[in-house]
Structure 1
Amino acid sequence: MAATKRLVVFGGNGFLGSRICRAAVSRDWDVISVSRSGQPHWESITSSPSPPPWSTRVAWERGDIFRPEQWTSLLPGASYVVHSLGILLEADYKGAISGRENPLSALARTFGGNRIPRPRNPLERVRQEGVPEPGLEAPTSPQQLTYELMNRDSAILLAKEAARAGVETFGFVSAAAGAPVLPSRYISTKREAEAVIAREFPGMRGVFFRPPFMYDESRKVTMGIAALATVGSTVDGLTRGVLGGLLGAMVTKPLKVDEVADAVVEALSDESVKGPVEVKQLEELASKAWRRTMI
């Protein structure tokens, strides 16, 4: 009998991360989620404040990604480790969506110039300055959450510890090509993380998921945005890519978040999948996962 697969998801209590946990549980994998809050706030990621039945099969651990001593003990023996953390805006964008922060002030902080200096690649800092590992300081406020820190450095830090623990496969939730409504650093920091992880840890299969805009009925605001993106994608196809050249990922066909989660788990289980996984391949993997349930 084949050994049970074990998956550790960092950010497993989030919009996509929670659904990755759900997809893995459906395959009878052992699943651990690591996040600062532990158990998800279900009302913010699903249509109900009550935990779904599958959630009892996930170990919801508390841990700060920037404090490895809190979670490195969870990595040995893991089949797969997934980084599903990151920020869309250098601000409390979740607070803006829920009304805790004024959306205008969130955008102003994102595009403004009064940001805390950006830390460098943690591996380069260790090599060049000889600072003690991990070479990162945990942020103490939302204002310190930069693209470099969250989208790049936290992923590199986790990949380093996963490789050290002997994990064979590392999944990183990156993103499809950027859009002009977001700073270029949003996508560039994710690409930097992909490149560093692939270069520094060649013995570990790296899978870099590049999903488009993701939507779900539990987040009503995503439905309207997805509808607009779908129209843009259709028009872009009819005009042979004219809009895509101007608007980037804004006219990339959006995917339901459950589809992306199914694709992630399918890719992890398929050893032939490695490197960047673009939108079309995500759709193919999700379809393959769906067909598996029909057998």
Structure 2
Amino acid sequence: MGRKKEARQGLPHKGSCVILSSFKLCPSGHSCSKTQIIKKWRRFYPSLPFPPWAPPPPRSSSSRASFPSRLSSLSLNHRSSLCKSVVKCSYAEAGVKDDYKSTTIDVVADIKTERVVVLGGSGFVGSAICKAAVSKGIEVISLSRSGRPTYPDSWIDQVTWIPGDVFYTNWDEILFGATAVVSTIGGFGSEEQMQRINGEANIVAVNAAKEFGIPKFILISVHDYNLPSFVLSSGYFSGKRKAESEVLSKYPNSGVVLRPGFIYGKRRVDGFEIPLDLIGQPAERILSAIENFTKPLSSLPASDLLFAPPVNVDDLALAVVNAVTDDDFFGVFTIEQIKEAAAQVKV
């Protein structure tokens, strides 16, 4: 959902609805007289003979100029020329005076529409991200090998589901118009399979997004659990770390790496719902309550396998939404930082 900002004085242009509200500016951007402005306006916008804020001249000394006070009075063509994207505009009543002074028009516009591509969008984490994103008004495209989920849910119809594989997909079709890419790609298997899924697949996606000019890339990675180095060198963790390095090198000022621990929620597998929250939610509460007591133990090898708090999949999804909509949100985020980012969106 685009951020709402007050439009500045200037020309109507794509992505925002900006209306001249002073006779100090004209369509060419120069300082001109009232008469010059109207003449230039007619040349720039022949279908709209007078600026929205300026009444036409009176037909006689006894007649009074009139002009529609709301944009709804204009034709659809005029509307589309003034508001190039979906915007929310509010206008003050245009009171017309004999001295033809300008009437201020307040405009609030959605100047940025987010369009997010979620890789692995039909999975456990990916579907939660898609659901959270559409609930915030973000346009979502999902790319996954399974395509559209088979279970019914109202938010599913609001997502564009594309079946495909990151190694063979048509990136031009997938990434067109996107403002961010979110990758939830990951999995287990043999050493070679884990390197390919967790590392190579994500690296391919990062490079495709960068070459296409996508401004932000968000990677769902994994907490290292303070594991010994010989475990972290395995295909799963080393693949994830290679993908992280690619994100941070290609997107040094906008790349996002989220490192959750155990992710819980209601997970669907082959039509069955697995209530991971029955385990994860109580564990999160207990570990959060005793956090001050367990911190001294965090230096012990693999201690986080016991003491790292789980993360609700909905919180992880909201953290992603925060990353998508906030240009100042980038870098590597720990479990606690993920929860803090989610809390900011909940408010």
When you count helix as a share of all residues, which structure comes out higher? Answer: 1
CA offset at residue 258 of structure 1?
A: 0.5
Asked which structure has the greater CA Rg, the reply is 2
TM-score w.r.t. the length of structure 2 is: 0.60
- TM-superposed CA distance for 1:228, in Å, is 4.7
The separation in 2 between residues aligned to 1:235 and 1:3, in whole angstroms, is: 43
**Alpha-carbon distance between aligned partners in 1 of 2:263 and 2:158, rounded to the nearest angstrom:** 25
Q: What is the aligned partner in structure 1 of residue 216 from structure 2?
A: 169
Candidates 153, 158, 163, aligned match of 1:52: 153
Instruction: Please tell me whether residue 261 in structure 1 is matched to residue 308 in structure 2.
Output: no
Q: Report the CA distance between 1:27 and its aligned residue.
A: 1.5
Partner of 2:334 in structure 1?
278
CA distance in 2 between counterparts of 1:64 and 1:202 reads 23
Q: Per-residue deviation at 1:25?
A: 0.4
Residue aligning to 2:201: 154
Q: Distance in 2 between matches of 1:16 and 1:152?
A: 18
CA deviation vs aligned residue, 1:100-155 (integer Å, no higher than 9, x gap): xxxxxxxxxx5xxxx6xx4xxxxxxxxxxxxxxxxxxxxxxxxxxx2210111111
**TM-aligned CA distance change 1:62 to 1:73, over 3 Å:** same
Q: Distance in 2 between matches of 1:222 and 1:149?
A: 30
- Measure the CA separation in 1 of the matches of 2:227 and 2:331: 25
Alpha-carbon RMSD across the aligned residues, in angstroms, is 2.5
Aligned partner of 2:177 in structure 1 is 77
- The answer to whether the 8 A contact 2:322-2:345 is kept is yes
Structure 1: unaligned runs, 5 residues or longer:
43-50, 91-109, 119-145
User: Aligned residue for 1:61?
Assistant: 162
- In the TM superposition, what is the alpha-carbon distance from 1:65 to its structure 2 partner? 1.3
CA distance in 2, matches of 1:243, 1:3: 43
Q: Aligned-pair distance for 1:30? A: 1.1
Aligned to 1:208: 257
| Per-residue deviation, 1:289 | 0.6
Question: Match for residue 135 of structure 2?
Answer: 26
Separation in 2, partners of 1:221, 1:54: 22
Give the number of equivalent residue pairs: 228
On the 8 A contact 2:199/2:239 being kept in 1, the answer is yes
Partner of 2:217: helix, strand, or coil?
Answer: strand
Query: Quick one: which of 230, 239, 247 aligns to 1:197?
Result: 247
Alignment pair present for 1:15 and 2:64: no
Comparing 222-231 with 31-40, greater Cα deviation is found at 222-231
C-alpha separation in 1, matches of 2:147 and 2:340 = 32
Greater length-normalized contact order (CA 8 Å, ≥ 6 residues apart): 1
Q: Taking structure 1 as reference, are residues 262 and 239 closer, same or farther at Cα in structure 2, changes over 3 Å only? A: closer
- TM-superposition CA deviations, 1:24-68 (whole Å, max 9, x none): 1012111100101111243xxxxxxxx211111101111111113
Contact 2:115 2:177 in 1 (8 A): yes
Contact 2:199 / 2:240 at 8 angstroms: preserved in 1?
yes
Cross-structure match for 1:224? 279
Is the 2:183–2:220 contact (alpha carbons within 8 Å) kept by the matching residues of 1?
yes
Q: Deviations over 1:258-286 (max 9, x none)?
A: 01101111122111111111111111111
Relative to structure 1, the CA distance from residue 235 to residue 202 in structure 2 (aligned partners, 3 Å threshold; closer, same or farther) is closer
Determine the C-alpha separation between the residues in 1 that align with 2:346 and 2:287: 27
Q: Could you tell me the TM-score, scaled by structure 1's length?
A: 0.70
Instruction: Mark the runs of 5 or more structure 2 residues left unpaired by the alignment.
Output: 1-108, 268-273
Q: Is the counterpart of residue 252 in structure 1 residue 308 in structure 2? A: yes
Share of identical aligned residues, percent? 31
Q: Indicate conservation of the 8 Å contact 1:230/1:254, yes or no.
A: no
